[in-house]
Structure 1
């Protein structure tokens, strides 16, 4: 897994969401690295990390543990947004002795219905050989993707010898999508500190998820950032970064 390390102190691993890369939580890293060693990762099939044909949460959790082993870290805090939050939760449940605490941003440990069909349709129908960035943006918005999400997706577009290519493994993500929106982890509850931060305008974490959350993470603390949606860390970064930093520092 491709990663970047900064700062010194107890380790914190930052894990981005679907279609993202290690730059997504860069502003949080800048806050945390004042007191901690921060490791930002490109999740497999994203950024500069390897492309996997099979991708599920047990495999991703194992990859996080292998990263800790590579860095000679006995344990770490995990912070993840969306899919990254699920990776953090899966790792904590499967390897509790290696994880000091977790923060899951706007995601619950449950299975979700498909909600990225328009995104996949827009990405796969883009003519990478005959486009430029403005045309690509127009194509995605015409495919029904809002401008903010389209601009975020285009961060994974890179120039190729002819035209463009995706840094992410789009075919692999499509193939494994049902595993990424699903949730099949069965393990003893994670009883160390857990913090769930949700966007007040998002429907990713709702009251109906409370029982599933409490059953798996009985020590959970919860916070809502009003006036934000699923991209809460980008919409109100100062508040989000402060909440995460305060929580992490309280555990050390």
Structure 2
């Protein structure tokens, strides 16, 4: 699958993958802090952003998408950064195609399985009558019935676009709804990835716990686990300067 992407900066290649319901645009502010040292490739994963939709949606397929992207761009090797769902994708990619990975950064996710916990968001998105929608405000009003946090609603509404004069979702909502359990799938491998790997969690998030250390050690023995202070799961949005400094320090060495 040919993924949509944005390219910026000059230097060593760094590929960035967003999380569930996100897109490449979510990481543009971080990219601005890295573009002096890296050539950045910000990708839309399948069923997200402006990338194609597919009925197949799992980490094996998304890792293969990443390999096809690398080959299409003539990149033999790069460093990779993935947040949440994107973190699972880059873990799967590094374990499957280790020869193509220089350094790995996994943002606020671990290899272990995660229970489904996006039901309310999916209920809200599916409650929006997209075919008869007349305004973005109407969509937000409907989402408000399900999601109290305005920031979360605004994040989700970035997926709302217009096609041929009508509103539409950029995300493949039917497939994501039907296969949502795949996003929490455990990442496993018979062989570990031996390259440097940074697991960067939010100090106020429980996505990377102390109990995850054993799984991380088994799959990524050359690992470093840190937590960014005063931030939760959306660490790149909540503490961008700290995230940029951490990335430059780890990837620049």
Common topology (TM > 0.5) = yes
Partner of 1:197: 200
SS in 2 for 1:188: coil
Aligned residues: 250
**Partner of residue 225, structure 1:** 228
After superposing on structure 2, the runs of 4+ consecutive aligned residues of structure 1 that deviate more than 6 Å are none
CA distance in 1 between counterparts of 2:156 and 2:147 reads 13
Structure 1 gaps, min length 5: none
Give unpaired runs (5+ residues) of structure 2. Answer: none
Q: Does 1:7 align with 2:3?
A: no
Range with bigger deviation, 71-80 or 128-137: 128-137
Kept after mapping to 2: 8 A contact 1:2/1:42: yes
Mean Cα deviation higher: 209-218 or 108-117: 209-218
After the TM superposition, which residues 1-252 of structure 1 pair with which residues of structure 2 at under 5 Å, given as runs? 1-128=3-130, 129-161=132-164, 163-250=166-253
Q: Is the 8 A contact 1:54 1:176 kept in 2?
A: no
SS at structure 1 position matched to 2:15? strand
Secondary structure, in 3 states, of the residue corresponding to 1:33?
coil
Give me the whole-angstrom Cα distance separating, in 1, the residues matched to 2:13 and 2:206: 31
Cα separation, 2, equivalents of 1:35 and 1:233: 18
Q: Deviations over 1:122-159 (max 9, x none)?
A: 00011122342223222212213522111100001012
